[in-house]
Chain A
Amino acid sequence: MEALLRLLSQPRVQQDLLVQMGRHLTLAGSAVLLAILVAVPLGVFLTRAPRFAQPVMTVVGLLQTLPSVALLAFMIPVLGIGWQPSLAALLLYALLPILRNTYTGITGVDQALLEAGRGMGMTPRQLLWQVELPMAFRVIMSGIRVSTVLIIGWTTLAAFVGGGGLGEVILTGFAMVSPAHILAGGVPVTLLALLADWGLGRLERRLTPRGLRV
């Protein structure tokens, strides 16, 4: 503990921590954003083409089970080292919860509502934007929350392939056998994850259509 405080009192370390935290967030944030951009439309597509749903989910689910360090290592021959392989690997990990929740959220919309909408003359596009997505919003959003928390944790591993982030601080701790470094890197990761979950929860509440809030 004393060692940790001593470490944190050094301006150079403080600055380094801030920089790595910034990188960490950028990396995790970009991975989640990209995952949303891929998974939500893909999820919507799968609800329109249900026969692809099972195979695609299985593949994405398999990706999730690969050991993360291994996945990162596989990326190196393709994307080299640095932030690129990290982002790619994290993106793949972030996909599943969002994809699965988008799919189940939309397929879970009451059939009677869809029929009412169709019967009143809504086009498939209008149904999607005005009925299905708003109704599935909370489920999709909780998928995004799960992904975010997961990815903030896993971004730590980016340091192994030179992707930067708080993992660097932890790796330094390993190298120097310095528990203080490990804590200085590890605790912020946890805090960031908790903070992100809380913030997204607030955002979800704010954006949930008023008629659906409980």
Chain B
Amino acid sequence: MVIFDNVSKVYPGGQKAVDSLSLTINPGEFVCFIGPSGCGKTTTMKMINRLHEPTSGTLTVDGKDIMAMDPVELRRSIGYVIQQVGLFPHMTIAQNVELVPKLLGWPAEKCRQRVDELLPLVGLDSAQYRDRFPRELSGGQQQRIGVIRALAAEPDLILMDEPFGALDPITREALQDELKKLQAKLKKTIIFVTHDMDEALKLADRIVVMKAGRAHQVATPEELLRHPKDEWVAQFIGRDRLTDRPELLTVQEVMIRKVVTVDPDHGLAEAVATMRQRRVNSLLVTDPDDRLLGLITASEIDLARKGRVADVMRTEVATLTPDESAQVAFERILLEHLDFLPVVEADRKVVGLITRTSLADALSRAIWKDGGVA
């Protein structure tokens, strides 16, 4: 548990890097600090292991005031991963990983075992890699070593300073996935600084959005997307992300606009012909002003055999309005086993249709982030 109680950091010269920050980070929590450069996120993190020291306020780790602790001892009890990987090029992979255990005076045999235990955790074969040097590894492999080096002495708390910032996007994603899994397995408290919103949304249990040295908004990724505190946060999250999420889309953004309708005065044979031609198994019945009157399905026509559309149609039709959440629409389609839901305005004018296909479209849009719904 890490508790910031009214912590400030003022640099010599009066620049306030962190301004009266109060925040509690719970055991096992994955917290991301995010914000534009110069917002104090890195300074905040580095105060925890006293690479920077708070000017006022108290910062406690597991109930102990860090300013009362020996900084060297404090740092050895906290895992630390930095952006430039920070592996020592003159040491082997094993020597790098066992560095903190060695500093803590673990016996050589225990250090060796620990290395053999940790390497497979990030998918690297110990026999193959332990005696190599960092420069013989790829960037992604090096940062995997960086991560397990932080885990070596079994700290409960790990600080990560933009650890994946220098990696290519594919490697970065792979490492994020691995870290998330590792965290689920090991239940460490992780404090992670990033400027990449996607990364924060993907990894964090809670996101601390920092602005000018203050915790501007502290929220779960879900809350942050749904209720950005103000325009600044919304801007920072990015408009794209806000609309790319299926739960934040509205019906009118995902509905199909070309709707097959039939006039109530048409004969059933004509309705069947339209269905055949348009390859649908039901039709919306509308008046000349496109107002919804009812619904007619192939099986109902089949039972009645003859007559007019108006005689056979169902007038009780479940509908949606254009402003409803698309997520709600999808849930209704799935739960009520519907093929589609018509979208009508207040005056019952039909404007579109939500089908199972629109669900697939919206999903693909959220995943691949392109437009492309008709």
Where the two chains meet, the residues of A that have a C-beta atom closer than 8 Å to any C-beta of B are: 110, 112-113, 115-123, 126, 130-131, 134-135, 209-212
Contact = CB atoms under 8 A, between A and B. Distances in A.
Interface residues of B, number: 29
A119 B84 contact: no
A120 B134 contact: no
Contact of A122 (B46, B77, B92, B103): B103
**Chain A's interface: helix, strand, loop or mixed, by majority?**
helix
A40 B44 CA distance: 37
Max chain A Cβ within 10 angstroms of own Cβ: one of B49, B88, B99: B88
Contact of A120 (B75, B85, B91): B75
A131 B49 CA distance: 20
B281 to A, nearest CB: 65
Contacts of B72: 121-123
B86 A121 contact: no
A117 B91 CA distance: 13
B82 A115 contact: yes
A131 B90 CA distance: 8
Contacts, number: 68
Contacts of B89: 135, 211-212
Contact of A118 (B51, B88, B99): B51
Max chain A Cβ within 10 angstroms of own Cβ: one of B73, B75, B77, B85: B75
Nearest to B79: A120
A212 B133 CA distance: 9
Contacts of B309: none
A116 B82 contact: yes
Interface string B156-188: 000100000000000000000000000000000
B73 A119 contact: no
B82 A119 contact: yes
Contact of B103 (A110, A121, A131, A134): A121
Given A210-B133, A211-B89, A212-B89, A120 B80 contact: yes
Contacts of A209: 90-91
A153 B106 CA distance: 51
Given A121-B76, A123-B72, A116 B135 contact: no
Given A113-B86, A120-B149, 18 more contacts: A112-B83, A115-B86, A116-B87, A117-B88, A118-B51, A119-B80, A120-B75, A120-B76, A120-B100, A121-B76, A121-B77, A126-B103, A135-B88, A135-B90, A211-B89, A211-B91, A211-B92, A211-B133
Interface string B269-286: 000000000000000000
